[in-house]
């Protein structure tokens, strides 16, 4: 792993867009972050009442309208439609045109979750698979359909690196830009995991929330006695450009990544060695005192939250930046979670306002907010840290 992380050319984030339980326009999303209530609803899944972070009604209507707009879109998984909507908004904000040859890297942890389960259930019932079962459930499905919808001819990449997928897409975009092989890249993640089988998998891991409290996901409550992960759905993408652009929302000042050796399939070390390495790499050229906020991965599990916190203590010592997460608000969106955390970081930079966790230990807010570190990690110990600055 490199000992330092120079960025020979500035990487600008010229637009970001998302669709999630918070809404799908920046003003609504920011206003929802000012509301101390979580965006969860109770659904009957797997014959049990279950907390989920579902899209708001307006976003659901937009997804339905997109599906109905083209007969080819009728067979697509929600995760693909979410990515298409967010991508349309992002390139419009960045003033990119279809004549621009930009790359696309949008990944997913689970891929076409809902559609795959439907096709498999039908196969178990009838013994036959539909013609479109394979092409509409491949992991490459997301970026290829976004490229079709935007009519771009640049490179398109899809990947799955569990819950750090979206921030790995950012890493890929930065690498392409720094290599000179592209000057614009659309990166992000999308996830639509609110299905019986996926919820059942999380329950089998003993990490899904059974809380009946006002805040059923207790992300960043380091004294909680039970796991409180809740799944959410959504997508987010951002536009990356090489150079220091006048319309930049923020600049990528550092990137870090690391993978740790696992003791079992979902393990992470007691002090999250992978996070320590990824953060140190991202901060190699930065005075630690300059970091104002860290948007943590913090999924709401006992070990997940605590090990990341210990890793931050190892890196920063007693002078911790402000700590926050958005999973208490919208749940864990798997492969999309990193980009939605990046969006929160950019909003705090734009508004010069810290968005904390209502029930977490009080922190002394500092201003101005100039630099924010964003963390993500997934099954497999694949950690990514991105340092943003304005």
Same domain, 42 and 118: yes
Same domain, 226 and 322: no
Same domain, 360 and 269: yes
Same domain, 153 and 120: yes
Same domain, 260 and 233: no
pLDDT of the chain, 390 residues: tens digit per residue: 444 555 558 899 999 999 999 999 999 999 999 999 999 999 998 788 999 999 999 999 999 999 999 999 999 999 999 999 999 999 999 999 877 889 999 999 999 999 999 999 999 999 999 999 999 998 888 999 999 999 998 999 999 999 999 999 999 999 999 999 999 999 999 999 999 999 999 999 999 999 999 999 999 999 999 999 999 999 999 999 999 999 999 999 999 999 987 664 455 666 789 999 999 999 999 999 999 999 999 999 999 999 999 999 999 998 999 999 999 999 999 999 999 999 999 999 999 999 999 999 889 877 899 999 999 998 777 999 999 999
Same domain, 262 and 205: no
In a domain, residue 4? The reply is no
Same domain, 205 and 352: no
Domain boundary among 242, 261, 289: 242
Same domain, 113 and 229: yes
Same domain, 28 and 166: yes
122-160 residues labelled b (16+ CB within 10 A) or e (exposed): eeeeeeeeeeebeebbebebbbbbbbebbebebbbbbbb
Residues in the chain: 390
How many domains, in total, are found in the chain?
2
In a domain, residue 6? The reply is no
In a domain, residue 170? The reply is yes
Same domain, 289 and 238: no
In a domain, residue 74? The reply is yes
Domain boundary among 214, 242, 270: 242
In a domain, residue 5? The reply is no
Same domain, 85 and 129: yes
| pTM, full prediction | 0.95
Domain boundary among 197, 218, 242: 242
- Residue 336 is part of a domain; what is its CATH number? 3.40.47.10
In a domain, residue 2? The reply is no
In a domain, residue 209? The reply is yes
In a domain, residue 33? The reply is yes
Rounded Cα distance between 377 and 191, Å, is: 16
Same domain, 272 and 140: no
Range(s) of the domain holding residue 29: 11-242
């Amino acid at each position: 792993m490199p000992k330092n992380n120079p960025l020979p050319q500035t990487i600008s984030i010229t637009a970001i867009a998302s669709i999630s339980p918070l809404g799908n326009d920046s003003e609504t999303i920011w206003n929802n972050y000012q509301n101390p209530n979580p965006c969860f609803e109770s659904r009957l899944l797997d014959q049990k009442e279950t907390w989920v972070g579902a899209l708001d009604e307006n976003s659901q209507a937009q997804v339905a309208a997109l599906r109905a707009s083209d007969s080819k879109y009728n067979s697509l998984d929600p995760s693909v439609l979410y990515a298409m909507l967010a991508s349309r908004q992002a390139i419009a904000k960045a003033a990119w045109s279809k004549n621009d040859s930009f790359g696309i890297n949008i990944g997913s942890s689970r891929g076409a979750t809902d559609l795959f389960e439907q096709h498999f259930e039908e196969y178990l019932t009838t013994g036959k698979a539909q013609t479109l079962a394979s092409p509409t459930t491949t992991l490459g499905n997301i970026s290829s359909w976004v490229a079709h919808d935007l009519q771009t001819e640049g490179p398109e990449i899809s990947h799955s690196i569990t819950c750090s997928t979206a921030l790995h897409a950012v890493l890929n975009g930065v690498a392409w830009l720094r290599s000179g092989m592209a000057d614009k890249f659309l990166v992000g993640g999308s996830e639509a995991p609110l299905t019986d089988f996926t919820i059942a998998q999380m329950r089998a891991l003993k990490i899904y929330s059974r809380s009946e409290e006002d805040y059923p996901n207790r992300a960043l409550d380091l004294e909680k006695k039970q796991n409180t992960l809740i799944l959410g759905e959504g997508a987010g993408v951002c536009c990356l450009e090489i150079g220091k652009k006048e319309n930049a929302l923020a600049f990528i000042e550092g990137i870090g990544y690391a993978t740790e050796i696992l003791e079992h399939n979902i393990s992470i070390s007691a002090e999250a060695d992978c996070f320590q390495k990824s953060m140190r790499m991202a901060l190699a050229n930065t005075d630690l005192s300059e970091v104002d906020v860290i948007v943590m991965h913090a999924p709401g599990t006992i070990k997940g939250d605590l090990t990341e916190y210990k890793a931050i203590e190892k890196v920063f010592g007693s002078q911790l930046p402000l700590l926050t997460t958005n999973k208490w608000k919208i749940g864990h969106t798997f492969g999309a979670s990193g980009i939605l955390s990046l969006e929160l970081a950019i909003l705090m930079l734009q508004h010069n306002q810290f968005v904390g966790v209502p029930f977490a230990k009080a922190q002394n807010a500092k201003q101005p907010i100039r630099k924010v570190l964003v963390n993500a990690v997934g099954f497999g110990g694949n950690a990514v840290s991105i340092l943003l600055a304005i």
